[in-house]
Amino acid sequence: MATYAIGDLQGCFTAFQRLIELIRFDPVQDKLWLVGDIVNRGPDSLSLLRYIKQAGDVILMVLGNHDLHLLMVAAGKAKNHPSDTIQPILDAPDRDELLHWLRHQKLFHAEGQYAMVHAGLLPSWSVSQAEQLAREVESALQQDNFQELLALMYGNDPDHWQNEWTDHRRLRVIINAMTRMRVCTLEGKMNFTYKGNIQSIPFGYFPWFSIPHRLSQNSTVICGHWSALGLYLTDNLIALDTGCVWGGQLTAIRLEDRKVFQLPCAR
């Protein structure tokens, strides 16, 4: 029995099929963890979404910003971008069933020594607090009035966290940190515009995972989202977005021994 974590898929269903063949994935005894951004930009988000849904408990995923964008567009709270490739999902006969299932996926997952999130965790958040905060967002997404959350989800402000917030700012910061953050200041102020490599980060900002004394550092965080960072492994970080949708690679890691599997992707 093995658990494999896989980086951002973004609709690259063929690459995903090739990768699970490469790792000799056995759904009877193995499990897959997916770091989010299941859909969008790639050529076959619909088939990928159907496959993951039908796999049941064998596959565990967390939501990424592109997955949330799909929900936003479907609810009429955002418009398709020119680069979006989610229309086949919106036109599918099983659209409502797929979107309902997607709304009920996790934003954050913690298990044993590992914690999985799409983008990152603010330095002031422990794993246990992050799990509680994620449950707040997940609960709101799963309610019948979930569109109220979607209507207030987008926005770069506020760019920091305050424990005492109880209005829409609270959920927005949780979502932005967990699905969009790459860098922040020592105090946890986020910069959502920077997408470059680790060597060119603006002055005063740092990779979220390198902030000294961040409260989640005793767990190994598995994440994606930052394709310019690429595969990045430390004792307490497994970053897996290697830019498959951009013609990079699709990456899997076997958690039991940290063996890495990669295959090239067509742009």
CA 69, CA 154: separation in Å to the nearest integer? 9
SS3 58: helix
SS3 116: strand
Of 153, 139, 189, 164, the C-alpha closest to 70 is: 153
Domains of the chain (ranges, CATH numbers): 3-264 (3.60.21.10)
Q: In the predicted model, what is the mean pLDDT of residues 168-190? A: 97
Render pLDDT for 193-202 as a digit per residue (tens, 0 to 9): 999 999 999 9
Instruction: Count, in order, helices (H) and strands (E) of the chain.
Output: 8, 13
Render pLDDT for 40-83 as a digit per residue (tens, 0 to 9): 999 999 999 999 999 999 999 999 999 999 999 999 999 999 99
Q: What percent of the chain has pLDDT over 90?
A: 99
pLDDT attached to residue 141? 98
Residue of higher predicted confidence among 266 and 244: 244
Residue 168, amino acid: H
pLDDT attached to residue 266? 86
Render pLDDT for 77-123 as a digit per residue (tens, 0 to 9): 999 999 999 999 999 999 999 999 999 999 999 999 999 999 999 99
Whether the pLDDT of residue 267 is over 90: the answer is no
